[in-house]
């Protein structure tokens, strides 16, 4: 499957808002497995955490909600989102801001829905992000989450240049960084891709800062604790895998489950 960074028009600044917009219908169609999603959000207030370039946020704003707010730590992505919202004529319904999904400036008990689309695996502290979402939700509000666990076939998130399955399972991080830097040289925006994914720690050592390495098991450990504390209830869960008979069979084996599942879907509900 094509990586969004390799689509036409991405450019030096990794503007993939158009790609997000184009793929948004398929995403929200999958949310319909938990009820008629677009009917639910009609006239409601929705927050999109780690919204990226805002393409999916803007598509959503064009299909029912009264307000849609998107937040992301990347200022370039927020600029892309504001530009597209203006272009699509929904800037009056969309608000985008550079903000932290674990400690935002969004108002208490204001939103009906919060979305984490391919976001949980990138936010450093999963529990803090979910608690922040619960803070801004109205009682009875819902959180929609979809993500790939760390041991997903391309869970290394370097597949724009390294289409190697489970590369992160059998190599060191140091090796992956070196390999990615070499492979990315053929792209005109290679330097931007490297800086987007790789940082240096306080000792000056390079590391892949784009991922928090959360597994499906760790995620459900967090949400189960939230449920036991009464902060939220787990309303729906769906674990999908590739549409291959062999993969489906292997995903049922406990020790191989994390390797052969693809997307995890989860809906949480804030108590009334």
* Ordered domains of the chain (ranges, CATH): 4-149+212-269 (3.40.50.150), 167-208 (no CATH)
Q: Give CA–CA dist 264/190, Å, rounded.
A: 30
What dihedral do alpha carbons 243, 222, 55, 58 form, nearest 10°?
A: 120
pLDDT band per the 50, 70, 90 thresholds, residue 16:
confident
pLDDT tens track for 84-128: 999 999 999 999 999 999 999 999 999 999 999 999 999 999 999
**What pLDDT, on the 0 to 100 scale, is given for residue 1?**
65
Q: Phi first, then psi: what are they for 234, rounded to 5°?
A: -85, 115
**What pLDDT, on the 0 to 100 scale, is given for residue 4?**
80
Mean pLDDT, the chain, rounded, equals 94
Distances (CA, A) of 71 to 36, 97, 147, 151, 187: 25, 5, 18, 27, 28
CB 158 within 8 A of CB 193: no
Distances (CA, A) of 85 to 53, 110, 148: 10, 22, 28
**What is the arithmetic mean of pLDDT over 164-180?**
96
């Amino acid at each position: 499957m094509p990586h969004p960074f390799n689509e036409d028009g991405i450019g030096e600044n990794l503007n993939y808002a158009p790609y997000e917009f184009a793929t948004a219908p398929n995403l929200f169609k999958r949310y319909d497995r938990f009820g008629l999603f677009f009917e639910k959000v009609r006239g409601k207030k929705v927050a999109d955490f780690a919204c990226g370039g805002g393409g999916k946020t803007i598509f959503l704003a064009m299909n029912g909600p009264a307000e849609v707010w998107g937040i992301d730590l990347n200022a370039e992505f927020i600029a892309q989102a504001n530009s597209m919202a203006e272009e699509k004529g929904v800037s009056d319904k969309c608000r985008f801001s550079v903000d932290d999904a674990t400690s935002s400036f969004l108002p208490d008990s204001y939103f009906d829905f919060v979305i984490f689309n391919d976001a949980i695996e990138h936010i450093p502290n999963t529990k803090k992000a979910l608690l922040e979402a619960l803070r801004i939700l109205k009682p009875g509000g819902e959180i929609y989450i979809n993500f790939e666990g760390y041991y997903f076939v391309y869970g290394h998130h370097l597949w724009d240049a390294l289409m190697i399955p489970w590369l992160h399972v059998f190599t060191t991080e140091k090796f992956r960084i070196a390999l990615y830097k070499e492979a990315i040289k053929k792209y005109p925006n290679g330097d931007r891709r490297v800086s987007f994914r790789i940082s240096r720690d306080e000792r000056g050592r390079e590391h892949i800062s784009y991922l928090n390495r959360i597994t499906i098991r760790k995620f459900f450990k967090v949400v189960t604790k939230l449920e036991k504390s009464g902060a939220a209830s787990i309303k729906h869960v769906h674990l999908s895998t590739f549409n291959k008979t062999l993969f489906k069979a292997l995903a049922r084996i406990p020790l191989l489950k994390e390797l052969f599942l693809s997307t995890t879907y989860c809906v949480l509900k804030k108590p009334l």
